Amino acid sequence: MSNNLKFYIDGAWVDPVTPAALDVINPATEEAYTQISLGAKADVDKAVAAAKAAFPAFSRKPVAERLALLKKILEVYNKRFEDIAQAVSNEMGAPLSFAREAQAWAGRAHMESTIAALETYSFSEKRGTTTVVKEAIGVCALITPWNWPLNQIVCKVAPAIAAGCTVVLKPSEIAPISGIVWAEILDEAGVPKGVFNLVNGTGPDVGQVMAGHPDVDMVSFTGSTRAGIIVAKTAADTVKRVAQELGGKSANIILPDADLQSAVTSGVQGCFGNSGQSCDAPTRMLVPRDRHDEALEIAKVAAEAHKVGNPTAEDTVLGPVVSQLQFDKIQRLIEAGIKEGATLVTGGLGRPEGLNRGYYVRPTVFGNVTNDMTIAREEIFGPVLSILPYDSEEEAIRIANDTVYGLAAYVQSQNIEHARAVALEMRAGSVYLNYPDWDTMAPFGGYKQSGNGREYADFGIHDFLETKGIVGYGD
């Protein structure tokens, strides 16, 4: 029996206090394929009360018990792996191969990294006659986005449990079904009553209520900078901790000694992955001015190799973007790039040829972009790449840092020492040298308006802990 119209509160699947349903749209067809219930303040109150009641006992559980619980969750996750992938493919329009190998994989990888981190995490240390202990912060409100649903759910829930916290999760109402499968996984794994709770709903009706709730001790939010500001302001009245992972406009500096063919081709792939819907995507590619035209030709070929189409087709590389709202925003920004004088290398307005239904976007590359253009300033969140020429390394670094965001940066060079030196100049929370593999043990989070706090592995656990000094504890 489907739990899509229910919430998970205090260890049970329950109906909303006041029934209200929302269609969940498959972006590949533009049609509803299921419904979820929308929560309200009364549902949040129930969930927070359950989490608050469960906190004293759960926070005192030995680390070994929390570790065993996480291992059991991982075991059930692996059993439900295909269900996760299918849910993400339906709610996001992700090609099935990507849903399995990236989206569902990410949840598994972060579970494994959190478990590994907890196995060696120290919750106390001696400093002379003082003992410093790290204790669970309390009830945590977790608000997650639609673009990497399992990545962000696991990056919040797993470290919160590792720390001894209890949680209320609000997944995105745009892509909520994978979150429901996740709740089923935790239920089967035997998570104690009230430790994990799920309430679906909108940002204003559920997310903001959670952020402002007096019995919530911390909010962890991933989403747009605009929404993050609202969450932070709402949380400020009760002086709770707020951890945020927000927007990005990441620069990809291709240094003169890089292999241009490889660097540009991989940069296009990095920008377009997940249909361009990644907050840390390398969306601004900086290339030496004397090789700018050559870079455009390479990028054109690379972009046009991305077959856009039905997520169930084996040869599909890019599915649709997630919603009509996202599609319209991307079209507006592509139009702005054309009007402001950037060179349209490939792609452009409208759907790809042969696709008349679904939120499909043409893989688009702009050249001769300057950093004051709209497409270089705003987060597009679609398969759109801006290529900017530069005259010197100093100018490239200045352009890269000339943004309100600071989530990620990329540097390409055949000289690793050179790449490392440039990385130190980047005002970003993560810097990726020569397109490395995804490292779920590395910290993830941003500078400036890309947020605060860090996720992944032990960095994520740390954010859910308070620090207490017991002075005069003795030797």
Active site residues: 245, 279
201-229: string of b/e by CB count within 10 Å (b at 16+)? bbbebbbbbbbbbebbbbbbbbbbbebbe
User: What is d(CA 316, CA 323) in angstroms, rounded to the nearest whole number?
Assistant: 19
Q: Pairing relation of β-strands 218-222 and 241-245?
A: parallel
CB 191 within 8 A of CB 159: no
Strand partners, 125: 132
